[in-house]
């Protein structure tokens, strides 16, 4: 299951609870829903953890790291996903915030999670 950091937690579509994380995943009925952890256990479909996304609240209390230029982590992308989806998933090494970039990306971007400059290296292929 992918994890994404967000600025706001959405309420659960089943119970209305607002907890420290929520999931956007398929239900046992086949449709997708925003679910709290408890409702995911009760209503989540068999593939919920395989294809769903976990959203966690971004911690904005920390200051951006002093390191101005860090090398991005490529472990989130595989050659198969790059070829099939047409984009790479790059993770900030300071906070783990992920960002989709073009397959041939080789540039810097500002991480939305912690504010550090992240250097995207040339593609791994």
Q: What is the pLDDT of residue 69?
A: 41
> Token pair for residue 100?
């989709």
Whether residue 62 is contained in a domain is answered as no
pLDDT for 68-97, tens place per residue?
Answer: 344 454 444 555 655 656 667 788 877 778
User: What is the band of 15 on the pLDDT scale with cuts at 50, 70, 90?
Assistant: very high
Whether residue 93 is contained in a domain is answered as yes
Containing structural domain, residue 42 = 2-57
Whether residue 40 is contained in a domain is answered as yes
Domain identity same for 47 and 86: no
User: What is the band of 14 on the pLDDT scale with cuts at 50, 70, 90?
Assistant: very high
Whether residue 125 is contained in a domain is answered as no
Q: Which of 57, 81, 103 is the last residue of a domain?
A: 57
Domain identity same for 52 and 73: no
User: What is the band of 121 on the pLDDT scale with cuts at 50, 70, 90?
Assistant: confident
Domain identity same for 37 and 74: no
C-beta pairs of 84-91 under 8 Å, 24+ apart in sequence: 88/120, 88/123, 90/118, 90/120
CA 96 distance to own-chain centroid:
8
The number of domains in the chain is 2
Domain identity same for 19 and 46: yes
Nearest CA-CA partner of 93 in 76, 118, 115:
118
Distance CA 57, CA 105 (A): 28
pLDDT for 23-45, tens place per residue?
Answer: 999 999 989 999 999 999 999 98
Domain identity same for 20 and 42: yes
Domain identity same for 45 and 73: no
Domain identity same for 75 and 113: yes
Domain identity same for 74 and 50: no
């Amino acid at each position: 299951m992918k994890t994404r950091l967000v600025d706001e937690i959405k309420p659960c579509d089943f119970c209305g609870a607002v907890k420290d994380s929520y999931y956007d995943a398929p239900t046992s009925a086949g449709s997708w829903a925003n679910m709290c952890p408890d409702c995911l256990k009760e209503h989540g479909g068999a593939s919920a953890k395989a294809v769903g996304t976990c959203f966690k609240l971004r911690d904005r209390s920390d200051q951006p790291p002093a390191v101005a230029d860090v090398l991005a982590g490529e472990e989130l992308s595989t050659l198969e996903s790059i070829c099939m989806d047409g984009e790479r998933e790059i993770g900030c090494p300071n906070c783990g915030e992920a960002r989709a970039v073009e397959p041939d990306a080789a540039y810097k971007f500002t991480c939305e999670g912690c504010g550090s400059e992240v250097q995207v290296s040339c593609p791994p292929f």
